[in-house]
Amino acid sequence: DILELVRFCKSKNFKTNIATNGYLIDKEMSKKIADSGLDSLIVSLDSLNEEAHDYLRGVKGVYQKAMDAIGYLDKFCNGLYKGICCVIYEANLDDVVKLVEWVDRDERLNSIYFMAAMQPNNTPLDVEWRKKDEYRFLWPSDPCKACSVVDEIIRLKKNGSKITNQICQLEAFKLYYQYPDRFVKNTKCNMDSAVHISSCGDIF
C-alpha cells in the first residue's frame, strides 16, 4: 500500500522519500521499491553493534535486517538515494563516530543524518520524560560527553563527511542536551503537511 502511495505521488511529480527500519526489505520488496520510482530511502541504524541497535529498536534481529536491506537496495535499486538515520542516545554515544566513519567508507550509502533523542512516539506527552527511569537509556546522562560527540560529528562534517545535518542544527543539539527545558516544543505539529505512518501502522 505504501508503494502504491509512492506511485501516486510520482504521478503528481512529487518527490518521494521513505524512512524505515528495513525489517521488511528483502529481495522481492527491493524490486518493488525499484519499480515504484521512489527517490530516496533512509534506513534507521543507531549502532554498528548489533546488540545495541536491537536493544534501542526493541526488536531482536532488526540490525541484521537493516544490513540485509542495504545490500538488497544496492543490488536491485539502481539510482535510489540511500541514507542512514541515527538518533543520538545515551546507549549509543560511544558508537556514533564509528557509524559515521563506516558510512563514509561505504560506497553504497549516500548520507548519514542525525536526530537528537526525543520522547518515544505513541507515549503520552510528558515534558519531563527524560527524567524517568524507563528512559534513562535514551537520554545522555553526561551532557558534556554528548556535546563532545556532537563536536566530533561537526569536525567530520567540516572535513567532507557524508553527514547531511547543517552545522547550526548540530550546534542546537548541543544546547538541547545541556538545557533541554529550553527546547520544549510549544508550536503546532506539521502533520497537516505530511503523511506519517506510525510504528503501529496508523496513518496520519
pLDDT digits (tens, 9 = 90+) for 68-105: 999 999 999 999 999 999 999 999 999 999 999 999 99
* pLDDT in the model for residue 176: 96
User: 47, 92 in Cβ contact below 8 A?
Assistant: yes
* pLDDT in the model for residue 186: 56
Please give the grid coordinates belonging to residue 19. Answer: 524512512
Cα–Cα dist 166/152, whole Å: 14
User: 145, 93 in Cβ contact below 8 A?
Assistant: yes
Strand partners, 39: none
* pLDDT in the model for residue 127: 86
What parts of the chain have a pLDDT lower than 70? 1, 184-204
Q: How many residues does the chain have?
A: 204
Number of other residues whose CB lies within 10 A of the CB of residue 31: 14
C-alpha 97: how far from chain center = 15
* pLDDT in the model for residue 5: 74
